[in-house]
Amino acid sequence: MFSLPSRALTTAAAALLATCLALPALAQETRTITDDAGRSVEIPADPQRIASLQDLFFSVPLIELGVTPVGSHGRVVIESQPFMRSSKMLTGVDFDTAPITFLGTGTEIDPEAVAAVDPDLIILSTNQDPEAFASIAPTVLLDFNRSDKFELYDRLAEITGTGDALKLLETRYAQQLNQLKAQVDAPNISVNVIAAVEGQIRSYRHFAALGRLLDEADFAMPDAVKEIEYGKFADFSPERLPELDADLILVTYRAEEGETAQDAYDLLEATIPGYCAFLKACQNGRLIAVPRDETFASSYSALGSLAYTLIALLAPVPDVRPD
Amino acid sequence: MTVAAAPSPVRHSARSWSGVPVLLAILAGLFLLHIAVGAKALPLGTVVDAFFAFDSKDFDHVIVFNLRLPRAVIAVVVGATLALAGALMQGVTRNPLADPALLGLTSGAAFAVVIATSVYGLATMALLPWIAMAGSLGAAAIVYIIARLVPGGATPLSMTLAGASVSAFLGAVISAIHLLNQETFENLRVWLTGSLAGRDVTMLYYVGPPMLVALLAGILLAPRVTVLAMGDDVAQGLGVRTGPLKAQLLAVVVVLTAGAVALAGPLGFIGLVIPHVVRLYVGSDYRWIVPYAALAGAAYLLGVDIIARVAIPPREISTGIITAMIGAPLFVHLVRRRTR
């Protein structure tokens, strides 16, 4: 018979207690999913600490699904703090309004910055290397270049177990879409979404939120836009301006960078002096500037505000005639 | 390198005269072609009508007069000035590799414009050429100081190496600004590749007068560049005050380069390649090299821009990309030809 020193006993008891406390975490349930690269990944059944390596197409949808990532990719401009593109405008959530750590910009995100937020799941895009982060937490690779950006919601809801939240968002959007279709004769109205970019006219076909709305409401489009692949955009020479005319032209501007509707019109004028005279949409007061942040996000909040914008622009108005 | 750029005895005098109308005819032909072709096919009659019976309500006339014509004019101005600046630099430095880009002038102008627009949010176009000139001059001063400080002084080799270093450094700083300021930098992305698409023709009002003065000064100074290219000692022996002459030529080159960068971004290879092509025809007399380089540079950029506009319709390729894609193999060909 021998006796252990009391200090050794205390240490052993502490170690046992620590092990017991850690057991729930170690025993966290997992499930297996297949990501967009075809990789089979074992992820936590209920991930609580997600690091999102793309702001606009991962972080914003996650926030709309009710999941706040612990860290996110973002953007920088010299004179301001880092921000998540379009997030504050669409959700109110950003690095300065929520406990989200800025992880970096572009595709070169430092794995050490990701490790520092202690994630239990990392969601990254196809232009990032999952192996660089694999030792930190399970990595799920999603392709945000897909033509239907809203498919990302299905994937993110599947990954985060927020299918119910997605159903609510879809239900709300369906009501908004029905209102639009009931009040606007969409199939007989052509719409084009354009922006003046570096001396060219960029036209978007069914791109992101505005694209989905225009498609599902069944709006018509100019023939030139039909040349563009679904969910993509193309740059046209200014010489083809009349081919881009439509009943309604929505021209986008970057509100988040401080641009205004007037900036969008000025850019068009600089690209094609006197452009308005050659677009019947403009002549009829139907060339309208809309924020690019909402039109190009994959966001249910954006879908709602855009639906009401189109109703306000295109629904019948009282026939007011002077006596 | 000094040997390669040193002038041979003046020659080709009669032949040189005969080339001017030929080059002018080529330039005029390319100018008309530039205006006649584009993303939208226009009948020749419409193109002619746009000039002689312009109707502002006819979009085809607007295409010719407001879109194609200003772009062609800018191509002529930028091509001529960059080629002329390159020719003068090669003569002054007696370095066949000298051109505004290699000696840091283009990078300096681009750097200054990037800082002014993306960091300080400059929106006044009137200031842009002056800012570009300050950038070019600053880069030239740094290159010269570095070259002076190395053992052996400001030789053609040390100037080239210092220019390459300064260009690389400024390029790295521009990249760093890009990383720190991604969103606002988007507006400069295409401009930094060198592009004639959507350029603001009103910029010509600001850069045109100083560029015209510099162009005339370059042509007037050209005979003395021929002497200077024989070496400082020879030039001084012939009564040329080399110091003031070099300063005048540097001012001419800075104004021309900065104006070209302000108009079209940092277009490469024109100032490097065109003087070599011209030298094959007119020899080493800068009285001929300078005007020939201006005409050939204008014609070259017009031709390149036609390709950029029509190669993959409906899209356009950035002019600077085509300039480099054609200029690089052309320069290799010229080097091989000289070394035979």
| Cα A27 versus chain centre, distance | 34
- The per-residue pLDDT for range A18-61, each reduced to its tens digit, is 554 444 445 578 999 999 999 999 999 999 999 999 999 999 99
Task: Single out the residue of A95, A51, A57, A92 nearest to residue A76, CA to CA.
Answer: A95
**Cα A37 to chain center, whole Å?**
20
Is the residue at A167 inside a domain?
Answer: no
Binary contact (B199, A199; C-beta < 8 A): yes
* β-strand partners of A195: A202
Residue with more model confidence, B218 or A23: B218
Question: For residue B176, which residues of chain A lie inside 8 Å, CB to CB?
Answer: none
**pTM for this prediction:** 0.75
Q: Are residue A152 and residue A194 in the same domain, yes or no?
A: no
For the segment A168-193, what is each residue's pLDDT rounded down to a tens digit?
999 999 999 999 999 999 999 999 99
Partner B contacted by A107 (CB < 8 A): no
Q: Is residue A10 part of a domain?
A: no
B8 pLDDT more than 50: no
Asked if residue A94 is part of any domain, the answer here is: yes
Residues A95 and A225 in one domain: no
A185 lies in the same domain as A99: no
- The percent of residues in chain A predicted with pLDDT above 90, rounded, is 64
Distance of CA A323 to CAs A151, A320, B322, Å? Answer: 53, 9, 64
How many CB atoms are located within 10 Å of the residue B312 CB? Answer: 9
Confirm whether A84 is domain-assigned.
Answer: yes
Is residue A146 included in any domain, yes or no? yes
Q: Which of A105, A239, A271 sits opposite B179 (nearest CB)?
A: A105
The number of beta carbons lying within 10 Å of the beta carbon of residue A20 is 9
Q: A40 pairs with which residues across the strands? A: A34
Quick one: average pLDDT of A119-125?
A: 95
A77, A200, A239 member nearest B181 (Cβ): A77
For residues A212 and A277, state if they share a domain. yes
Residue A91 has pLDDT above 80, yes or no: yes
Express as a percent the part of chain A with pLDDT over 70. 89
Q: Does B182 touch chain A (CB under 8 A)?
A: yes
CA distance B90 to B270: 13
- What's the domain range around A82? 30-161
B312 inside 8 A of chain A by CB: no
Q: Which of A132, A161, A190 is the last residue of a domain?
A: A161
Reported ipTM: the value is: 0.71
* A49 shares its domain with A72: yes
In a domain, A254, yes or no: yes
Spatial separation of the C-alpha atoms in residues B262 and B113, rounded to whole Å: 8
| The total number of structural domains that make up chain A | 2
- A92 and A141 housed in the same domain: yes
Average pLDDT, chain B: 84
In a domain, A15, yes or no: no
Across A135-139, average pLDDT = 95
pLDDT at B10 over 50: no
From A111, A131, A161, give the residue that closes a domain: A161
Name the DSSP letter for residue B39: S
Give the whole-angstrom CA distance, residue A123 versus residue A47: 11
Out of A105, A227, A238, name the one closest to residue B67 (CB). A238
Which domains are delineated in chain B?
Answer: 2-339 (1.10.3470.10)
Q: Domain boundary at A161, A185, A204, which?
A: A161
Q: Does the pLDDT at position B178 exceed 80?
A: no
H helices of chain A, where? Answer: 6-26, 60-64, 87-91, 111-116, 151-160, 163-183, 208-216, 223-226, 261-271, 280-283, 292-295, 300-314
B57 close contact with A: CB closer than 8 A: yes
Half-sphere exposure in the Cβ direction for B211 (13 Å, CA): 28
Same domain, A253 and A185: yes
Instruction: Indicate if the pLDDT at residue A2 is higher than 70.
Output: no
Residue B4: pLDDT above 70? no
Contact B197 A272 (CB under 8 A): no
* Mean pLDDT, residues B47-51 taken together: 91
Does A198 have pLDDT greater than 70? yes
Give one DSSP letter per residue of B230-264, joined into a string.
T-HHHHHHTT--HHHHHHHHHHHHHHHHHHHHHHH
The answer on pLDDT for B124 being more than 70 is no
Query: Are A213 and A294 in a shared domain?
Result: yes
DSSP-derived letter for residue A111 is: H
Tell me, what CATH number does A67's domain have?
3.40.50.1980
Q: Which residues in chain B touch residue A105, judged by CB atoms under 8 angstroms apart?
A: 179, 182
- Asked if residue A271 is part of any domain, the answer here is yes
Same domain, A116 and A43: yes
Are A148 and A249 contained in the same domain? no
